Amino acid sequence: MAVSLSNIPFISLVFFLILLPHPSNSRNLRLHDSPKFFADNIGIIRPLEKICHVNKIYQLGDSISDTGNFIRENSPHSGFLISRFPYGETLGAPTGRCSNGLLMIDYFALASGLPYLDPSEKEDGKFATGVNFAVAGSTALSNEALKAMNITNPSTNSSLNVQVEWMTSHFNSVCHTKEACHKMLKKSLFLVGEIGGNDFNYAFAGGKTIDGLMNLVPDVVRSIRAAVIRAINFGATRIIVPGNFPIGCIPVYLSNFHTNDTAAYDENHCVRGLNDFAQFYNKALQESIVKLKKLYPHIAIVYGDYYNAYLSLLSNARKLGFDVNSLQKACCGVGEPYNFNAGKICGTPEAKVCPNPDKYLSWDGIHSTQQAYKYMAGYLLHSIIPQLHCHGA
């Protein structure tokens, strides 16, 4: 299937959620509680704290999990849209998160009873309970490797290998021996990704076909695998490796691949070819995880199923309070039929913000809303916790 993608904004897919209270009289967690219950009560039941005793979180990734590194790499006054309103409007201020509010990683912190992770580039960051190394726009492959394939990353030089080096420097500064690091990280949680989505975004933007992207998949998976091994060598014992979303359901892709051919769409009105590619990549990533688990049988290496987490929002939209007529429209944007225009994206004067982002899955046509992330985090925690080798899980 020869498909090219042009004129898309160079930030990968991201999603957010809502801040919940932390009352002391929290109820006991039952793993048979629904994913919706998990999402609505993450800050109350704190499952990663109470079942897994997680005391630190480390995140590698892109804009799905960046809590402020990208805007610190660049001048805050450089004009990047994510550094000003309406980004961060639910939080009361833009933070460098690519949404109206919190990210899934923020919910994972809530679930652990920990503060939100400070970005590693924050000068006065507090890193006793973890570090967020993710950078919006980053790739699994280095910029040099991409350039050799005629793919350009116009956003950042902080690819996955650079983030791993930041992580290495951090651990070298806080635990000076291998034994000390292993002891410090015994109850930690690592998230390696989502990363790789931008490798494919930039390849599309450079005119690559889906067949061409398939040739890129093994290299992306190998890079992620190498990062997982580096984390294990430092002492990581619980690692989540997320896959990609059903990108054919995202407004930016729906807009760029819009066609009158009804056969190109599935039952959710998502682009079949794009979702088929996402599944192809996710399968390759899962196969790599299976091999890693055989190499490291005492390490919990868990696939994060972002693909089905997102589909669960579509299939349960009404129950979760989303507007079923706006599931593939951006809350912040302009243009029909998806309220997305690559030349007038969220943050530009022409773009308008919907009255209630909680009714929408997509925030800006590329990244999702806080509410979407809340429910995806609940879905993921519900499926991941039993696989993390936690006492009582």
User: pLDDT tens digits for 137-147?
Assistant: 999 999 999 99
User: Residue 297: is its pLDDT beyond 50?
Assistant: yes
Q: What local confidence, expressed as pLDDT, does residue 339 receive?
A: 97
Give the pLDDT mean for 90-113. 96
Q: What local confidence, expressed as pLDDT, does residue 4 receive?
A: 37
Q: What local confidence, expressed as pLDDT, does residue 291 receive?
A: 99
The model's pTM? 0.90
Among the listed residues 118, 305, 358, 364, the single catalytic one is 364
* Catalytic (active site) residue 364: yes
Among the listed residues 12, 62, 63, 383, the single catalytic one is 63
Q: How far apart are CA 306 and CA 227, in angstroms?
A: 19
Kindly tell me the burial class for residue 84, based on how many C-beta atoms sit within 10 Å of its own C-beta (0-12, 13-18, 19 or more).
Answer: middle
For 347, residues 6+ apart whose C-beta sits below 8 A from its C-beta are: 81, 82, 84, 85, 86, 87, 332, 364
Give the pLDDT mean for 48-54. 94
Give the pLDDT mean for 306-324. 97
Q: What are 98's two structure tokens?
A: 């690519």
The SS3 call for residue 59 is strand
* Catalytic (active site) residue 367: yes
Q: What local confidence, expressed as pLDDT, does residue 17 receive?
A: 24
Return the amino acid letter for 328.
Q
Q: What local confidence, expressed as pLDDT, does residue 391 receive?
A: 66
Give the pLDDT mean for 70-78. 74
Q: What local confidence, expressed as pLDDT, does residue 97 receive?
A: 97
Q: What local confidence, expressed as pLDDT, does residue 266 receive?
A: 97
Q: How confident is the model at residue 15 (pLDDT cuts 50, 70, 90)?
A: very low
Torsional sign, CA 37, 21, 103, 354: positive
Q: Which of 31-45, 56-70, 154-168, 169-183 has the lowest mean pLDDT?
A: 31-45
* Catalytic (active site) residue 118: no
Q: Mind listing the pLDDT tens digit for each residue in 174-214?
A: 998 999 999 999 999 999 999 999 999 999 999 999 999 99
Q: Higher pLDDT residue, 95 or 15?
A: 95
The CATH classification of domain 35-387, taken from the options 3.40.50.1110, 3.40.640.10, 3.40.50.970, 3.30.1320.10: 3.40.50.1110
Q: Return the axis-axis angle of helices 210-234 and 160-174, rounded to nearest 10°.
A: 10
Q: In whole numbers, what is the pLDDT of the chain averaged over residues?
A: 90
Whole-number percent of the chain with pLDDT over 90: 84
Q: Which of 129-133, 153-157, 160-164, 309-313 has the lowest mean pLDDT?
A: 153-157
Q: How confident is the model at residue 8 (pLDDT cuts 50, 70, 90)?
A: very low
Among the listed residues 65, 66, 288, 367, the single catalytic one is 367
User: Residue 393: is its pLDDT beyond 80?
Assistant: no
The SS3 call for residue 190 is strand
Q: Higher pLDDT residue, 73 or 217?
A: 217
Q: What local confidence, expressed as pLDDT, does residue 312 receive?
A: 97
Kindly tell me the burial class for residue 30, based on how many C-beta atoms sit within 10 Å of its own C-beta (0-12, 13-18, 19 or more).
Answer: exposed
Q: How far apart are CA 179 and CA 233, in angstroms?
A: 11
Q: Where are the domains of the chain?
A: 35-387
Give the pLDDT mean for 276-302. 98
Q: What are 79's two structure tokens?
A: 């004009």
Q: What local confidence, expressed as pLDDT, does residue 37 receive?
A: 75
User: Residue 370: is its pLDDT beyond 80?
Assistant: yes
Q: What local confidence, expressed as pLDDT, does residue 36 receive?
A: 78
Q: Higher pLDDT residue, 112 or 17?
A: 112
Q: Higher pLDDT residue, 3 or 220?
A: 220
User: Residue 224: is its pLDDT beyond 90?
Assistant: yes
